[in-house]
A and B are shown apart, each in its own frame.
Chain A
Amino acid sequence: MSKIVLDKVLRKFPDDIIDSHSYVGNETVIIKKEALLKVCSFLKDNRQLMIDMLVDLTCVDYPQETERFMMVYHFYSTENKYRIRIKAPVSEEEPFIDSLTSIWKNANWPEREVYDMYGVKFNDHPDLTRILMYEEFEGHPLRKDYPITKRQPIVGPLN
């Protein structure tokens, strides 16, 4: 059903698409990270699609890939019941991507979480600080190369 969203995005931004697929109602577009704001405002402003909800945004770490982090955004239309997933790869050397907070206010905290856990930085974010871990914490615990039992206690012994 959400195929229409996928088609619209593919037709509108042919140059910015890296890949796309559609499988059992799972429509996914992988775009270049520079095009993120463009694509998202198109989705939000399009009268026919009426994508009015940013369900979630998160990140996945693929250490073996050249562009290590994959940002994942889920959108939903409460009117048309369309769902669409936008992905954008981000490299470790340049861990920057545009913040969605100018379009979707609720992107604020999830983006802080992604920054906290993965170290991806968001351009023009109003308050890019750690949200879950404490300020003294060093590193980003959900990166796959963070040692699984490495602890950084504020008080108390190391383990």
Chain B
Amino acid sequence: MGVKNTGIENILGESVVLTRAESILNWARKWSLFQFPFVTACCGMEFMSVYGPHYDAARFGAEYPRFSPRQADLLFVVGTISHKQLPILKNVYDQMSDPKWVISFGACASSGGFYNNYATVQGIDTVIPVDVYIPGCPPRPEAIMDAIIKLQDKIQHEKYQSRKSYPDLGKNNKPGGENE
């Protein structure tokens, strides 16, 4: 009787959960963000406090640091990036296997911060694509957790095809580099 009993539930009962492959894949990905901490400056202090027991990033499935980029999904760029450091950052990003995400942590990584001089990169997004920017100098732990939640949200709504359309920034800048 009624709409309830006319659908597929009638056949399958309560024994089966229906979803889309994309959706369950994204769900699995968003709760197992293995992160690579690329920590270069003072923002690292705040990063440590978030990843300590007090704020407990484990609640978001993102607590486990991998110190090999090949095993990491999420690149945390924490702190000032100098031009001397930038090739290393790019190397690390290139070594990470897909799917990969980048969080730019703090004013320095996002825009160079107040270091507008000969040594400092004016935002890592000039060379690698960034998914979430966290403002602040340094950001508060709440802002960082907010960023992780936003990233999870982004991952959940990611389309399978959309990953392919990432701009390959900075690729043409060093022909014949070792990553080519």
Contact = CB atoms under 8 A, between A and B. Distances in A.
Contact of A156 (B84, B117, B121): B121
SS class, residues of chain B in contact with chain A:
loop
9 contacts: A133-B84, A148-B116, A149-B117, A153-B86, A154-B174, A155-B87, A155-B90, A156-B83, A156-B86
Tell me the interface secondary structure of chain A in the complex.
Answer: loop
Interface string B83-112: 110110010000000000000000000000
B38 to A, nearest CB: 15
B45 interface: no
A149 B126 contact: no
A141 interface: yes
From B86, B117, B118, B177, name the one whose CB has the most chain A CB atoms within 10 angstroms.
B118
B169 to A, nearest CB: 8
Contacts of A141: 117-119
A112 to B, nearest CB: 15
B117 A148 contact: yes
A134 B118 CA distance: 12
Interface in A32-91: none
Most buried by B among A141, A149, A154, A157: A154
A102 interface: no
Interface size class of A (residues with CB under 8 A): 10 to 19
Nearest to B121: A156
A87 B86 CA distance: 37
Contact of A149 (B87, B90, B118, B174): B118
Interface of A: 132-134, 141, 146, 148-157, 159
Interface of B: 83-84, 86-87, 90, 116-119, 121-122, 126-127, 170, 173-174, 177
A103 to B, nearest CB: 31
A152 B119 CA distance: 8
**Nearest 6 interchain pairs by C-beta:** A156-B127, A141-B118, A134-B84, A153-B83, A156-B126, A155-B174
B80 to A, nearest CB: 14
Given A155-B90, A159-B126, 17 more contacts: A132-B84, A133-B119, A141-B118, A148-B118, A149-B116, A149-B117, A153-B83, A154-B86, A154-B87, A155-B173, A155-B174, A155-B177, A156-B86, A156-B127, A156-B173, A157-B126, A159-B122
